[in-house]
C-alpha cells in the first residue's frame, strides 16, 4: 500500500461548483496535514495546514482531517477558473526535520 | 511577503557534468529541504538539513548528491556527475521551527540533462 494515495483526476467542474479533493494515507505517525496548489512547472504553494484531526476554514477553502479513517479532504466553495491547478496533499510526522510525503496531486479545471 | 528564492530557474547540462542548484530560504527559518519532481510524478523528498548537518536523506540522495549551507543565507544542492534520469524540477523548501510544520517552497529549478 502506498504511503499517501490521491486520485490524480483530472477533475473538471463548472464555475461556482463545490469541489471535493481527497487523500488517504497509511502511516499513523502523520500528524501534520497540508494542501498545496501547484501550477504547471511552478513550486507548490501552501494553501492549508492542519495539525491532527479536525476542520480548518480559510475563505472558500475548508480542510478536514479524519485520523481514525486516515482520510483528509479539501473543499473549495464557489470555485473559480483561477482555482484551476493541481492540488497536492502532503503530510508529515512530529519533529522539525520531518520530511513531507506527498500525494500525486489532483488536476482540477474550473470551466467558466 | 518572505519567500524562498531559487536560481537558476532552468539549467541545461551535459551528462556527466556537475551542477549546483542554489536556494535562499526564508531568513528566520531553521529547517531546509530539497525535493524533486520528475515530470508527471509526485514530489519526492531528497534531503533535510538542520543545524548545519543532514537530518535525513532518501534513497535517491546517493553519493553523487551533496548539500551545503556555505554562509548564513544560501543553501545549495550539488549533483556531481549528472545522469539523464536526474532531469527533473528541484524544489528547495524551508520551515521555521519544529512546532510549525508549514513548509514553504521555492519556484524550482528545472534541470535538463542531455
Query: What is the rounded CA–CA span in Å between residue A43 and residue A37?
Result: 9
Q: At B95, list the grid cell.
A: 520551515
Min Cα separation B3/chain A (Å): 11
> Tens digits of per-residue pLDDT, A13-61?
999 999 999 999 999 999 999 999 999 889 999 999 898 888 999 999 9
Q: Which residues are within 8 A (CB) of B19 and not within 5 positions of it... i.e. 6 or more apart?
A: B11, B13, B78, B79, B82, B111
Chain A residue numbers touching B103 (CB-CB < 8 A): 34, 46, 90, 100
User: What burial class does residue B88 get, using C-beta atoms within 10 Å of its C-beta: 0-12 exposed, 13-18 middle, 19+ buried?
Assistant: buried
- Residues of B engaging A, defined by a Cβ cutoff of 8 Å: 4, 6, 30-31, 33, 35, 41-45, 48, 50, 55-56, 58, 89, 91, 93, 95, 97-99, 101-108, 110
Strands B53-57 and B5-7: unpaired
Q: Which of A20, A37, A30, A71 is nearest to A51 (CA)?
A: A30
> Tens digits of per-residue pLDDT, B41-70?
999 999 999 989 999 999 999 999 999 998
Nearest-by-CA chain B residue for A90: B43
Element (H, E) at A72: strand A71-76
**Is pLDDT above 80 for B90?**
yes
Question: Residue B93's beta-bridge partner residues?
Answer: B33, B105
Q: What is the pLDDT of residue B61?
A: 96
Q: What single-letter DSSP state applies at residue A42?
A: S
Query: What is the rounded CA–CA span in Å between residue B32 and residue B51?
Result: 10
Chain B residue numbers touching A86 (CB-CB < 8 A): none
pLDDT band at A9 (very low <50, low <70, confident <90, very high): confident
Nearest-by-CA chain A residue for B33: A99
**Is pLDDT above 80 for B97?**
no
Q: At A81, list the grid cell.
A: 477558473
Query: What is the rounded CA–CA span in Å between residue B59 and residue B70?
Result: 24
Question: Stretch A52-73: mean pLDDT, rounded?
Answer: 94
Amino acid at each position: 500500500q502506498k504511503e499517501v494515495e490521491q486520485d490524480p483526476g483530472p477533475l473538471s467542474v463548472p464555475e461556482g461548483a463545490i469541489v471535493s479533493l481527497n487523500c488517504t494515507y497509511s502511516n499513523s505517525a502523520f500528524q501534520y496535514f497540508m494542501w498545496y496548489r501547484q501550477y504547471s512547472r511552478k513550486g507548490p504553494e501552501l494553501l492549508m495546514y492542519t495539525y491532527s484531526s479536525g476542520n480548518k476554514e480559510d475563505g472558500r477553502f475548508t480542510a478536514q482531517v479524519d485520523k481514525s479513517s486516515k482520510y483528509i479532504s479539501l473543499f473549495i466553495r464557489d470555485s473559480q477558473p483561477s482555482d484551476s491547478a493541481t492540488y497536492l496533499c502532503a503530510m508529515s510526522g512530529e519533529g522539525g526535520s520531518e520530511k513531507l510525503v506527498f500525494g500525486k496531486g489532483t488536476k482540477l479545471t474550473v470551466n467558466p | 511577503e518572505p519567500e524562498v528564492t531559487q536560481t537558476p530557474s532552468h539549467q541545461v547540462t551535459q551528462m556527466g557534468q556537475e551542477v549546483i542548484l542554489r536556494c535562499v530560504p526564508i531568513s528566520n527559518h531553521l529547517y531546509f529541504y530539497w525535493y524533486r519532481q520528475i515530470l508527471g510524478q509526485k514530489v519526492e523528498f531528497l534531503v533535510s538539513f538542520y543545524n548545519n548537518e543532514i537530518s535525513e536523506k532518501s534513497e535517491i540522495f546517493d553519493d553523487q548528491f551533496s548539500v551545503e549551507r556555505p554562509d548564513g543565507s544560501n543553501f545549495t544542492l550539488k549533483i556531481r556527475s549528472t545522469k539523464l534520469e536526474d532531469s527533473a524540477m528541484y524544489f528547495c523548501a524551508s520551515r521555521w521551527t519544529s512546532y510549525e510544520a508549514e513548509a514553504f517552497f521555492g519556484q524550482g529549478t528545472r534541470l535538463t540533462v542531455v
